[in-house]
Amino acid sequence: MYQLSDLIRGRDFISIHDFTPQEVAYILEAAVEIKKLQKKGVAHSYLAGKTLGMIFQKASTRTRVAFEVGMYQLGGHALFLSPRDIQLGRGETIKDTALVLARMLDGIMIRTFDHDEVLELARWSSVPVINGLTDLLHPTQVIGDMMTILEHKGGLKGLKLAFIGDGNNVAHELLYGGAKVGMDVVIASPGGYEPDPVVFKQAREDAEQSGARLWVVNDPAQAAQDADVIYTDVWASMGQEEQAGQKEQAFRSYQVNNQLMSLARPDAIVLHCLPAKRGKEITDEVMDGPQSAIFDESENRLHAHKAIMALTI
């Protein structure tokens, strides 16, 4: 069985920004190796007897299934904790929740709105805290994304990824991820919807070490030109449903379709973190077409999450 090191054992997994390029490379290597074990039917009970508490303030399909199934396949047990199930939903402080859960669990995963809630949970928890998504960042998604690109392209350094759409949590984490692995990342967003300037500044500083180029444009065609990877996401994220109409107007020319794909490299792949609004940010022809790696990407959430858990808990 693949031998895991203690390189990041006991660490929180809140953002890819928090890890060195070497540590990010090791997480990706472990994800690939753990996937091989699972595909061969080889038992890999790295977390036998361990427990993970999963706090979900936001709905989920892939994150919940990946963590719950992943923990089972690693030999451990996962507990689903919705706001209706725990006192956090009735006003108990994050501090008290962290102090209690850390005495009973080996790790905590949280998927929530406010990024500060994850930071507060990690501050008071004595066991690793994994960020399953906030409005600011989505690091577990991007580990799965980079794993997928690695599988399809054989490497990451020097590739160009074009993210077409809202400068959201996925865009932010792609900037951090690209900066760590030496992958060029361009974000194409309408004016007023660009990535957070603080995140962009931090990612640019990270990129100085790897040589990655990071930039933001308003023209999707400019971003897509000669791209190795075209990535998109829904225009209105969870919690922004009231903005859907307004965003649809602003993002009308940001659809990933065959015309946009013709500007990318002929062997470019397409990614989408899902769920998708087919016919809005992406067409059926592209999503179901030969360049789509979207469902490989979705499956790789399982293997990526397993690697994150197995290496930190």
Residue positions annotated with a catalytic role: 111, 138, 141, 233, 273, 301
| Spatial contact of 173 and 141, defined as CB atoms under 8 Å apart | yes
3-state helix, strand, coil in the chain (%, to 5): 45, 15, 40
Report the DSSP pairing between strands 269-272 and 77-81. Answer: unpaired
Cα separation, 304 vs 27, whole angstroms: 8
Q: What does the angle CA 267 – CA 168 – CA 222 come to, to the nearest 5 degrees?
A: 45
Cα separation, 134 vs 110, whole angstroms: 9
Alpha helices for the chain (secondary structure H): 21-40, 62-73, 94-101, 115-124, 139-153, 169-181, 197-210, 220-224, 244-250, 258-261, 284-287, 294-312
| Spatial contact of 252 and 280, defined as CB atoms under 8 Å apart | no
| Spatial contact of 51 and 105, defined as CB atoms under 8 Å apart | yes
184 pairs with which residues across the strands?
160
- Amino acid 192 reads G
